[in-house]
Amino acid sequence: MEERLHRVVAEVLDVSLESVTGAMSPETVETWDSLTHLRLITAVEAEFEIQLSMETIQAIGCVADLRANLPQLGS
């Protein structure tokens, strides 16, 4: 599961799979701007067939936040 998430992150942010960490955020990744943020969200939604709420999307600040919001990986 985590690898699936990381693969999506790597593809959308155009970085290598190995470099993806939970701490990655718009502050640390150059390509992660507000539009990329939405592309990342929609890509994750499509990959895991979920719908995140607007509040959740706004609160997501890093890869670890994304992971926490995937129900299958929640706990």
Residue 16 has what DSSP assignment? -
C-beta separation of 5 from 67 below 8 A? yes
Cα–Cα dist 18/74, whole Å: 22
Nearest CA to 58 out of 33, 72, 37, 27 is that of 37
Q: Interaction with another protein in 37-56: which residues (CB under 8 A)?
A: 38-39, 42-43, 46, 54
Q: How far is the CB of 54 from another protein (least distance, A)?
A: 6
Residue 3 binding another protein, by CB under 8 A: no
- Find the part of the chain contacting another protein (CB under 8 A) among 22-30, 36-44, 62-70: 36-44
Residues of this chain that interact with another protein (CB under 8 A) are 8, 11-12, 14, 34-35, 38-39, 42-43, 46, 54, 57-58
